[in-house]
């Protein structure tokens, strides 16, 4: 076991997770008299809102991911370590990460969430979820491979199964995935094959609830559904998937044969709540005080998707990037105040600026206070907002140019099948 020692005269802060929450916490501590260790099992920060574009070959992985080490390279009081945290000794104030022991005075848990298959973890192999660059590459490989295999399939039944794409879950990720798959099938690949017509693909979006986009107003959800249907996506509402296997999905009154099923329903928190034996909700999110500390553990804070927090009206805060960023920033400022012997900031209050989701090229739904945007204007707003929130001028430029190019030509540059995967068999 190797103990990571920092300057012992200053408070030691360990941040677990270099996502939106952890990164903002580290940045907010830039000028504080503390020594920070930020530990993440990946070497990169991923801009998850654009993962679906990697999964559907619009963007390359490096366009939406940046080495955490490089993002924080100019911040002298932080050390970045790549390691998987497996437990925390709360009494001894030590984080365990493989062979490493990381002592702390303040601990920030920002490990986010994972997919939940509602007790059916065996579905993960056949219906991958979208959470990381690896997931996106896996989905992109399966998705493109399905067309390749359909091109050489001997019989119509196999071809139909290969050209049927099912997305489970009608939240923003499911809507964006389904819309993007439809665009690739109907436009990008239209003239690339000789035996098959990709535009005859069947794309089905399955949602257990009564409507798509439950976080959006009903009229915008209806708009999104109509826009998807115009693109050829079948939307099945009030349909709970009862099983997933390598040949498709089943539900109470039917079955769809499909070689490509994508899971965009349900999240479960990382096991961090168990590491510190904290109270958590049904999804595993840790319940926090109004200063985002863990009850009875005043030096442990939670930021981002892992936190179960509520607004003033008692509604749970959504698992979105602005919540994670605001929480991370708040926790960083609070720890800085304590390190400088200043009073704590006021309790955390989340400021909600709006909700955005895109349905495809030229169509998006945007809700900003009372303002609602749809169609091309909504899509333009969505594009500008996402470019603005990316890290680094190079990525902003590359993505803006890539989108403009795709918009004008319907082309997608990242159509590589680079992950060995035998599942989409014929
Ligand atoms: C496909 C998709 C689309 C989305 N679209 C949007 C959108 O359009 N708008 C929006 O606002 N939000 C969107 N979100 C949600 C948003 O991305 C999350 O709310 C946000 O990433 C949460 O930040 P976080 O810091 O809590 O967790 P994350 O960003 O998930 O970061 C967690 C970090 O912890 C690390 N980690 C986890 N476990 C360990 C461990 N044991 N040891 C070491 N490191 C660990 C991970 O590697 C990761 O880097 C989307 C999410 C997904 C998955």
Mind giving me the DSSP string for 356-417? Answer: EEEEETTEEEEEETTEEE-HHHHHHHHHHHHHHHSSSHHHHHHHHHHHHHHHHH---S----
pTM of the model: 0.93
Which among 91, 81, 68, 66 is positioned nearest to 14, based on CA atoms? 81
Q: How far is CA 141 from CA 130, 174, 415, in A?
A: 13, 18, 9
Question: How confident is the model at residue 60, as a pLDDT?
Answer: 93
Q: Which atom of ligand 1 is nearest to the CA of 86?
A: 41
Question: How confident is the model at residue 392, as a pLDDT?
Answer: 78
Question: How confident is the model at residue 212, as a pLDDT?
Answer: 97
Q: Whose Cα sits closest to atom 23 in ligand 1?
A: 20
Q: How many CB atoms lie within 10 A of CB 363?
A: 22
Residue 43 Cβ inside 6 Å of ligand 1? The answer reads no
Question: How confident is the model at residue 416, as a pLDDT?
Answer: 83
Q: Whose Cα sits closest to atom 4 in ligand 1?
A: 49
For the chain, residues with pLDDT lower than 50 are 422, 424-426
Residue 223 Cβ inside 6 Å of ligand 1? The answer reads no
Residue 362 Cβ inside 6 Å of ligand 1? The answer reads no
Ligand 1 mean position, distance from CA 254 (Å): 34
Residues 299-337: tens digit of each pLDDT = 999 999 999 999 988 989 999 999 999 999 999 999 999
Residue 173 Cβ inside 6 Å of ligand 1? The answer reads yes
Cβ atoms of 414 and 57 closer than 8 Å: yes
Ligand 1 mean position, distance from CA 391 (Å): 15
Q: How many CB atoms lie within 10 A of CB 354?
A: 14
Ligand 1 mean position, distance from CA 112 (Å): 5
Q: Which atom of ligand 1 is nearest to the CA of 45?
A: 49
DSSP string over 89-150: ETTTTEEEETTEEEE-SEEEE---EEE--TT-GGGGGTS-B-SSHHHHHHHHHHHHHHHHHH
């Amino acid at each position: 076991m190797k103990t990571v020692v920092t300057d012992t005269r200053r408070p030691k802060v360990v941040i677990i997770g270099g996502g939106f929450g952890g990164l903002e916490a580290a940045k907010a501590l830039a000028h504080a008299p503390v020594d920070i260790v930020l530990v993440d099992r990946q070497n990169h920060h991923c801009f998850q809102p654009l993962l679906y574009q990697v999964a559907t070959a619009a963007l390359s992985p490096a366009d939406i991911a940046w080495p955490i080490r490089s993002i924080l390279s100019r911040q002298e009081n932080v050390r970045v370590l790549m390691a998987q945290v497996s437990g925390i000794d709360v009494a001894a104030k030590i984080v365990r990460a493989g062979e490493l022991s990381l002592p702390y005075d303040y601990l920030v848990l920002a490990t986010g969430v994972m997919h939940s298959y509602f007790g059916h973890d065996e579905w993960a192999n056949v219906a991958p979820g979208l959470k990381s660059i690896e997931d996106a590459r896996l989905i992109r490989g399966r998705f493109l491979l399905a067309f390749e295999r359909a091109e050489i399939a001997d019989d119509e039944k196999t071809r139909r199964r290969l050209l049927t794409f099912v997305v489970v879950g009608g939240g923003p990720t499911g809507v964006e995935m389904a819309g993007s798959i439809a665009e690739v099938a109907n436009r990008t690949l239209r003239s690339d094959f000789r035996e098959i017509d990709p535009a005859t693909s069947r794309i089905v979006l399955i949602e257990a609830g009564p409507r798509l986009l439950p976080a959006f107003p009903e009229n915008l959800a209806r708009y999104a559904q109509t826009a998807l249907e115009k693109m050829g996506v079948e939307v099945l509402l009030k349909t709970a998937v009862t099983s997933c296997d390598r040949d498709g999905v089943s539900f109470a009154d039917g079955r769809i044969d499909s070689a490509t099923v994508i899971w965009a329903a349900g999240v479960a928190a990382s096991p961090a709540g168990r590491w510190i034996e904290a109270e958590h909700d049904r999804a595993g999110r840790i319940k926090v005080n109004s200063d985002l500390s863990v009850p009875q553990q005043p030096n442990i804070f939670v930021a981002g998707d892992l936190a179960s927090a509520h607004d003033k009206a008692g509604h749970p805060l959504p698992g979105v990037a602005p919540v994670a960023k605001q929480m991370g920033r708040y926790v960083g400022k609070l720890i800085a105040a304590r390190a400088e012997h200043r009073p704590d900031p006021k309790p955390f209050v989340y400021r909600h600026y709006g909700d955005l989701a895109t349905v495809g090229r030229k169509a998006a739904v945007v809700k900003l206070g009372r303002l609602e945007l749809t169609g091309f204007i909504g899509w333009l707003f969505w594009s500008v907002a996402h470019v603005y929130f990316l890290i680094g001028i190079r990525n902003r430029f590359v993505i803006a140019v890539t989108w403009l190019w795709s918009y004008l030509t319907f082309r997608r540059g990242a159509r590589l099948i680079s992950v060995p995967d035998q599942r989409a068999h014929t």
